[in-house]
Homo-oligomer: A and B are copies of this chain.
Amino acid sequence: MSARDALLDAYEAILLDDGVRAATLEAVAARAGVSKGGLLYHFPSKDALVAGLVARLEALAAEDRDRMRQAPEGAVRYYIRTSNWSGSSLDRALVATSQLAQESDVAARDVVARIGQEWLELIVEQIGDRAISRAILLIGDGLYYNAALTGGTYNTLTGEQSLEELLEVVDHLVELAGARRAS
């Protein structure tokens, strides 16, 4: 793994575990096993570090959209399943970046907003009804919110069973959208 990636991993990890205040250059460098000077070679400023994280999130989200579009279970089920915390690269990058968005970081705020819009559009394409799509999107947002609160320490939906139950509820919403389309 490149040193850059190791540094971004460390930055993410600290943001998730301890929050923005703890995510200092020194802490990030130490966690990645380099010195502050070493970090500043790869990322000449803190803004550069943020930009690196934003770029990583953007790439991961684009890959995820492809998988979501092609998911055999359907985009909606795929979206809900992957919104529950699993510790995936996308989970981590998104929750970490959300924290920066809350610090009024414009780049972070933009990318998080854009990703949400793209998800919404994909769901609308699949099920047709905008109000129901928004409700489904909000359920996923709720899962991310819960992950963010704990830094992804545990799933909101503990165990496979509650996720299955939630998916079943969401299936009903998809059916409802189908019924509305038919009428």
Contacts and interface: CB of A to CB of B under 8 A. Distances in A.
Interface of A: 17-22, 98-99, 101-104, 109, 112-113, 130-132, 134-135, 137-146, 148-151, 156-157, 162, 165-166, 168-170, 172-173, 176
9 interchain residue pairs of minimum CB distance = A138-B142, A141-B142, A19-B103, A145-B145, A131-B165, A142-B142, A135-B169, A138-B139, A141-B145
B137 A142 contact: yes
17 contacts: A18-B103, A18-B104, A20-B103, A22-B104, A98-B149, A102-B149, A109-B150, A130-B165, A132-B169, A135-B169, A138-B142, A138-B146, A139-B139, A141-B141, A142-B142, A144-B145, A145-B145
